[in-house]
Amino acid sequence: MRFALDATPLTLSSGGLARYTDEISRSLASQFPEDEFVLMSDQPFALPCDAPANLRRGDVPRNYLERRWWSWGLSRALARSGSTLFHGTDFAVPYLPLRPSVLTLHDLSPWMDPRWHHAAQRVRRRAPFLIGLGIATMLLTDSEAVRRQAIDHFRIHPSRIVKVPLAASTHFQPVAAPSTGPPYFLYTGALEPRKNIRALLEAWREVRRTYKVDLVLAGLRRADFPELPPEPGLQILGEVSDERLPALYSGALAFVYPSLYEGFGLPVLEAMQCGACVITSRDAAIAEVAGDAAVRVEPGREMSEAMLRAAADPEWVSRRRTASLHRAAAFSWARTARRTREVYDEARKRFD
């Protein structure tokens, strides 16, 4: 069987969409060597590192008409490849329902607060059309919280949408972190309005009045997020390579993720798999991922109190680190790939 996946997120240098597309395509190919998996995009992209032989690059637009990718070109490329199903990894599937398709709906943030997404107009217009008219045969969400939200928002029949949790890459493991330098709290991810960075800064400043603990922000600053002025103890690293992240997670006094809303919260799981003490918001999807292993707090006093506890109580941090490792062991990309493949089969049955 041959399946095609949208490779457009692989044109991004970092972020959850790129991570998801990289991991799910490689894991599917590894778990199902008898099948073929084709990555397709109308934009140049790099194949995942160490891609199995049954994961390959697909066709590209051949003429002006095929550059109308979603309405025409992708369907032509799929026909030439002989693919039996298309998996839209980023809120989209071909507009012509000529074969079964699966659409991953990572979250509903584009429809919740206009301030969260300054450039999501196309997604806001396109996805409801693809979902409402049944052009996407089946839908995936990363968490049960988003699944329930999507059922209510788009009026989806519950049997048509399936929760398939994600996982952290296997290279996220505890490593020996350098002992030099001050202790630090860590945040990883985009600097954008939805992530509630302002609340994190305020809580950290409260802690810093008593303890000389730095705050490290690792991630790209999005255009709609204001540049942060320098201040003592604040380290703004920008985009950080995957090779550097395990050491950052492992060495942190605590990983703090105050996001207002998530579809899954992959950085939380990455941090846990590296054995970090984790402090998060009370977002429902993050709660599914972290369970009781994380300290879930409201912005403001609760967050600063948890960070103060991390700075003052090494034994408490150690217990949290152990809980993180136990929790992270419940997730794997192999399990995610097998469950995704089951949804492919269900989509084929429904289309037939």
Shared domain check, 58 and 102: yes
Query: Does residue 176 surpass a pLDDT of 90?
Result: no
pLDDT digits (tens, 9 = 90+) for 120-141: 778 888 999 999 999 999 999 9
Within a domain: 172: no
Per-residue pLDDT tens digits for 320-337? 999 999 999 999 999 999
- 98 assigned to some structural domain: yes
How confident is the model at residue 201, as a pLDDT?
A: 97
The predicted model gives 269-275 an average pLDDT of: 98
Residue 243 lies in a domain: yes
Could you please report the per-residue DSSP string of 252-283? -SEEEE--S--SS-HHHHHHHHTT--EEE---
HSE-CB at 99 with a 13 A cutoff on CA atoms is 21
Beta-bridge mates of residue 221: 191
Q: Quote the mean pLDDT of the chain.
A: 95
**What is the CATH number for 30?**
3.40.50.2000
Q: What is the pLDDT of residue 179?
A: 72
pLDDT of 16 reads 86
CB-CB contact of 269 with 166 (8 Å): yes
Q: Sheet with 184-188: list strands edge to edge.
A: 234-238, 214-218, 184-188, 254-257, 278-280, 295-296
Give the CA-trace dihedral at 333, 110, 105, 2, to 10 degrees. -90
| Residues 160, 35 share a domain | yes
pLDDT tens for each residue of 178-231 = 777 899 999 999 999 999 999 999 999 999 999 999 999 999 998 889 999 999
Answer whether residue 175 is part of any domain.
no
Segments forming the whole domain that contains residue 221: 184-328
DSSP 301-322: HHHHHHHHHHHH-HHHHHHHHH
pLDDT number for residue 119: 66
Rg (CA), the chain: 21
Among 112, 63, 106, 113, smallest CA distance to 88 is for 106
Question: How many Cβ atoms sit within 10 Å of the Cβ of residue 292?
Answer: 9
Cβ neighbours of 98 (radius 10 Å): 12
Is residue 300 domain-resident? yes
Query: What is the pLDDT, as a whole number, of residue 54?
Result: 98
- Is 177 domain-assigned? no
Q: How many domains does the chain have?
A: 2
Tell whether 46 and 12 lie within a shared domain.
yes
Q: Verify that 127 and 204 share a domain, yes or no.
A: no
Q: What digits encode the pLDDT tens for the residues 238-248? A: 999 999 999 99
Do 295 and 198 belong to one domain? yes
What confidence tens digit (pLDDT) does each residue in 76-128 have? 999 999 999 999 999 999 999 999 999 999 999 999 887 787 667 788 889 99
